[in-house]
Structure 1
């Protein structure tokens, strides 16, 4: 390669580097902003997911606490005090209507049935509506249907397992199977998520069946 060619190549390389430097100075901030947006967007998305998850869990816990209140009036007041939007508010309205079943029981059962089959609602809400429908319907619902619904809700890991087990025990009592009911109730007291209110009810049922409360 001649000295002239070498000189031209060096000059061209310097010009390329100079051009890249100028371009970076002029537009490099765009790349930096893009990186910040990508990283920040991912962090924002994760934060939003965490917030929504916490809100959903808090909403579910509030409903469980409200439904565990001892009196009809207290349950209704507790449900009305819960804040929700969209599907949450729709479910709250159904639960409040269900608590007023003495005024229009058929309408309450129909509303709960609609909620239980509403695929727009989260599964946990549909399960809660189904459980409430079975509880309110009681002996008016076919025993086989109650058995099927409650058995599904009482599976390990299900959110409403303790309440479903309680209702399975009630069903066994209605069928005259006291020993089976006692076995369910005794096992229920060993569950980790049993509230104090439910624990009291279970002990009362065990006593009514002639079981040993101290041994339970």
Structure 2
């Protein structure tokens, strides 16, 4: 009985090996293809990374060269002539919008292009909105500026505190000094406010005849 069991086990094992060999012979190429895909994929990723780094260096060098130009016209022409990717184009447009004293209309148009582009990352779009309000100034109706700032002053937005500061300045523009003082004192206690922003808020509150609050106990973000 023991010999029979041993014989059956040997036959069973042989059948298993034979089946495994047939399966490997039929489907073994799949493993080779998978290995090839992994190797080629890694190569493509490294190539793309190298291309991206090269493009970023080229863009950075081009921006530096453009900003070294002697006149605003030359700087804008050099920046506009750069070969850029979609993301780099958005950043270039923000840079183009940084010289509004020389070409306010051009600066506003560049910022509008960034804001209108739905593919622009929110952090850049919010920055463009904040910059546009500052550049437009009184040329843009106060209600429109407030609406734009309120949209980026919501909790969780990257430039919430800066937008809140500008909203307080709109209150000053409207002659609502007491409301502006209250808004700036609240902002001075906000944990999202930088030291520089708190200092500015205290200076404006003092200039308005108010008393700056101590910033020791920061209010929760979004409060």
Q: TM-score range by the shorter chain?
A: 0.5 to 0.7
- Matched residue, 1:199: 198
- Matched residue, 2:117: 118
Query: Which whole-Å CA distance do the structure 2 matches of 1:184 and 1:190 have between them?
Result: 10
- Matched residue, 1:135: 134
- Matched residue, 2:151: 152
Query: Which whole-Å CA distance do the structure 2 matches of 1:134 and 1:121 have between them?
Result: 18
Using the TM superposition, give the Cα deviation of residue 137 of structure 1 relative to its aligned residue in structure 2, in angstroms.
0.6
TM-score, normalised via structure 2 length: 0.62
Listed as ranges, the gaps of 5+ residues in structure 1 are: 1-6, 46-79
**Does residue 209 of the first structure (1) align with residue 208 of the second (2)?**
yes
- The number of residue pairs the alignment matches comes to 168
Listed as ranges, the gaps of 5+ residues in structure 2 are: 1-6, 46-78, 216-223
- Matched residue, 1:176: 175
Alignment of 1:21-100 (within 5 A): 21=21, 23-24=23-24, 30-31=30-31, 34=34, 86-100=85-99
TM-score, normalised via structure 1 length: 0.64
**Does residue 19 of the first structure (1) align with residue 19 of the second (2)?**
yes
Superposition RMSD on alpha carbons, in Å? 3.6
Query: Which whole-Å CA distance do the structure 2 matches of 1:210 and 1:143 have between them?
Result: 24
3-state SS of paired residue (2:97)? helix
The runs of 4+ residues in structure 1 deviating greater than 6 Å are: 35-38
